[in-house]
Amino acid sequence: MSKLFPTTRIPDSAGRIKTPFLRRFAREEDGMITIIAICVLLMMFMVGGIAVDLMRNEMERVRIQNTADRAVLAAADLDQELVPAEVVADYFTKAGIPDRINNVTVDEGLNFRTVSVNSDSVTPTNFMRLVGVDELPLRSKATAEERVTNVEISMVLDISGSMGSGDKMPNLQQAAKVFVDTVLRPETQDLVSISLIPYSEHVSAGQNLMSKFNVDYDQSYSYCLEFSESDFDVARMRRDKTYRQVPHFQWGYNGYHNDVSNPVCPNGTYESITAFSQNATALKYQINRLQARGSTSIFAGMKWATGMLDPDFNTITQSLVNDDEVDAIFANRPESYTDRETLKTIILMTDGENHYSYRIADQYYANYSHASHWNRYNLNWYLANYVNRYYHDDFKYMKYWPSYGNQLLHSVCDAAKEKNIVIWSIGFEVEENGANVMKNCASSPSHFFRVEGVEITEAFRAIARQINQLRLTQ
């Protein structure tokens, strides 16, 4: 039976026996490694070339995308006065790629502007064309939008005595006015409201706002609510309790004069709360009239700021609308915490730390006659001149002190955060401890600004821009 693959070797005409090619190839090595190496190098060269083409394409795509992102962010800014499409084109021209723009679309309305740019082009290949691929596609898209939805702002400004040093007060006033102008613009009409809350040793609600609460009055010289410790554990202003009135008197004493100009409860014409306003002119006028005086109770300002953003305050707002103190368009504010179209935010500013606050003992502040007496006399001046030193401590007690104030501030900041109220805090020329306290109150470390001098204006401007919600959407 014949074999399919005979092993017998047949000699050629010269008598030499031929070895089959495959067997000879298997045994012989002359030049084979070189051939294999060349093949491998060619393959590596091709793969490397493809990688280079792909890398060049990706680098170009990233360059286009970065340019597009920057361009639409600038064009979508509601403060941008140039034509949005021209702004985008200018960015691409300055990047050296003016031909990469495929299409620019702009959509804008009363309170928003959306800008999109598409780039649909190709990059030529150097190596992939060897395998029939002459070009690679380049596609990118960027969209930016600035949209102002409903915004409720509590702006809490420190007007304590330390703000009178140097240019602190003028710098604050300039910064606060820049903030007002930035967030209250024609396109935000009826969308953004600001509650201005000046504070020093306490917060003056003003006579009309004070009348909306249940209050046990004992004088008519000033209008501040006395809070209990538990009030700082919740966001809302409690409507189910009767508040005591902060007594009207002054304990700070320079050792020489019967000064009564800095009472515990501030009573200046422009030191009271302004609620839910969109009148930029009126707000800036009030800011210009603020004066530095008194001690510092940051927690009191923060309590009012939080309470005025809580929906439970709405019945008070409606009453203020009826009194023509708030625009009717804001009658439903504060909105519900679940309203996704409403941003609730607080800007809390101080130049120091929580300080001391004293009260007169109840037996010496028990009626209107007592209130009239302490309206005329500085407490410590009166004690120094008319009361034996042995009895001084009987007349007064410490209501707040720095560490206790920090505790109360921490509590009310936490209560606000639990309700998703965004807290921005500004430490204006503060010491390290004060900076840490304010940073802990803020919604995050990035929501805290520590500034000096005129830097406070940039802090307020930066916060205003964030509130206006400039964001990259794609």
- Token output for 228: 């209990």
% of residues, the chain, pLDDT over 70: 88
Q: What is the dihedral of CA 404, 407, 413, 417, to 10 degrees?
A: -160
305-333 pLDDT, tens digit each: 999 999 999 999 999 999 999 999 999 99
CATH level 2 (architecture), domain 150-472? 3-Layer(aba) Sandwich (3.40)
**pLDDT given for residue 15 in this prediction:** 57
- Token output for 387: 């009361």
Per-residue pLDDT at 167 exceeds 90: yes
Q: In Å, how far are 97, 309, 344, 347, 463 from 339, measured between CA atoms?
A: 44, 12, 10, 21, 22
Q: Which of 45-49, 351-355, 361-365 is predicted with the least confidence, judged by mean pLDDT?
A: 45-49
Per-residue pLDDT at 374 exceeds 70: yes
Q: What is the mean pLDDT of the chain?
A: 89
**pLDDT given for residue 337 in this prediction:** 94
Instruction: Give SS3 for 39.
Output: helix
Per-residue pLDDT at 26 exceeds 70: no
Per-residue pLDDT at 234 exceeds 90: yes
**pLDDT given for residue 59 in this prediction:** 83
Q: In Å, how far are 100, 136, 270, 317 from 58, measured between CA atoms?
A: 14, 10, 60, 56
**pLDDT given for residue 199 in this prediction:** 97
Q: Please, what's the b/e burial string for 224-263 (b: 16 or more CB within 10 A of its CB; e: otherwise)?
A: bbbbeeebbebbbbbeeeebebbbbbbbbbeeeeeebebb
Q: What is the pTM of this model?
A: 0.75
59-113 pLDDT, tens digit each: 888 888 999 999 999 999 887 889 999 999 999 999 988 888 888 999 987 667 8
First-to-final CA distance of the chain: 78
Tell me if 419 sits within 8 A of 310, measured CB to CB: yes
Question: How far apart (Å, rounded) are the C-alpha atoms in residues 181 and 389?
Answer: 53
Residue found under tokens 């504010």: 333
**pLDDT given for residue 138 in this prediction:** 78
Question: How far apart (Å, rounded) are the C-alpha atoms in residues 152 and 352?
Answer: 26
131-156 pLDDT, tens digit each: 777 777 878 899 998 876 899 999 99
Strand 225-226 versus strand 243-245 pairing type = antiparallel
- Number of residues written out for the chain: 474
Per-residue pLDDT at 6 exceeds 60: no
The conformation of residue 228, written as its DSSP 8-state character, comes to P
Strand 215-216 versus strand 150-158 pairing type = unpaired
What is the residue extent of each domain of the chain?
A: 66-146, 150-472
What mean pLDDT comes out for the span 217-239?
Answer: 94
